[in-house]
Amino acid sequence: MSAPMEEEPSLVSKELLGDFIPENEKDFINLASYVTIITGAIVALILQFIRTPYGRYGSSSWGVLIPSRVAWLIQELPALFVPVYLIFCTDSLKRSATANQVLLSAFIVHYFQRALIYPCLIKGGKPTPFIPFFLALVYCTFNGYLQARFLLQYADYPNHWVLSPNFIIGLLLFGFGMFVNIHSDHVLRNLRKPGETGYKIPRGGMFEYVSGANFFGECLEWTGFAIACWSLPALAFCIFTWLNTGPRAFHHHQYYLEKFDDYPKERKALLPFLM
């Protein structure tokens, strides 16, 4: 998958970027995208044998425990900061192209919510072990660079791309996925009344159909993003998201079935009506 048109970089503020930009950057971005897909497949394989060690599955055996709000803020912030930084130090004309602006803005809006709003809303979340925190930090930094640099420097969309089915359908999926993700997080935060502890069965919204409604929403977001961008980096991000969060949705589904005898048997793990 590739954007409709691509070309070599034009003007880049080397004074600001310094040695951050590889000499053969387009090839590097393509290679990094394939590495992302391969990494996602490896992660999915590993998660068949262990559960992602944070939240209800976290423990100190995976490193020193970091308060959940602090962990979420720090690990997600590079995916917001890096694109914003690159916007100000990239002189390419693509920076002013409508399609590029809208797509990069969608990415930034997601991580503005995820890095700055979501952590403030957490209610007594369990601490995050250092190892999964650090891996998330590295990935958010890397992926923020990957998506932003491609959209700022290499994705050369025709003027009519904003009216194309890819762009419109993709953004609609992205918006709906973000709504599902945010609403599902809201449901989870408000499961327990003040003073209550333990886990409860989530109900309402997409939780009526899947156990991992928040994960389904995020996967839908980046599927829509990949369709709208129609690029290798966005496709790689989409695939990695499904391979990384999908197993966690199945782990949650299994957890609920084992813990609650009255758990709705018609619910699926990740995809409504399917699985």
Confidence of residue 149 (pLDDT cuts 50, 70, 90): very high
- For residue 147, CA distances in Å to 181, 183, 229, 232, 233 come to 21, 26, 10, 10, 6
Q: What's the chain's Rg over C-alpha atoms?
A: 19
Spatial neighbors of 228 by CB under 8 A, at least 6 apart, are 103, 106, 166, 167, 169, 170, 171, 174, 234
Q: What is the pLDDT of residue 200?
A: 87
Confidence of residue 263 (pLDDT cuts 50, 70, 90): very high
Confidence of residue 128 (pLDDT cuts 50, 70, 90): very high
Mean pLDDT of 203-218: 95
The two tokens of residue 148 are 């932003």
3-class DSSP state of 13: coil
Residue 260 phi, psi (nearest 5): -115, 120
Structure pTM?
0.89
Distance CA 144, CA 196 (A): 38
Distance of CA 184 to the CA centre of its chain: 15
Percent of the chain with pLDDT over 90: 74
The two tokens of residue 35 are 């590495």
Q: What is the pLDDT of residue 157?
A: 93
- Are the C-beta atoms of residues 97 and 7 closer than 8 Å to each other? no
Pure H helices in 21-164:
25-46, 68-88, 98-112, 118-121, 130-149
Which range (67-76, 139-148, 184-193) has the least confidence?
184-193
What is the rounded average pLDDT for all residues in the chain?
Answer: 89
- For residue 158, CA distances in Å to 10, 94, 101, 220, 227 come to 17, 11, 13, 25, 16
The two tokens of residue 162 are 């904003």
Distance CA 99, CA 158 (A): 9
Asked whether the predicted pLDDT for residue 81 surpasses 70, the reply is yes
Asked whether the predicted pLDDT for residue 6 surpasses 50, the reply is no
Mean pLDDT of 97-125: 93
Confidence of residue 21 (pLDDT cuts 50, 70, 90): low
Distance CA 188, CA 68 (A): 15
Confidence of residue 9 (pLDDT cuts 50, 70, 90): very low
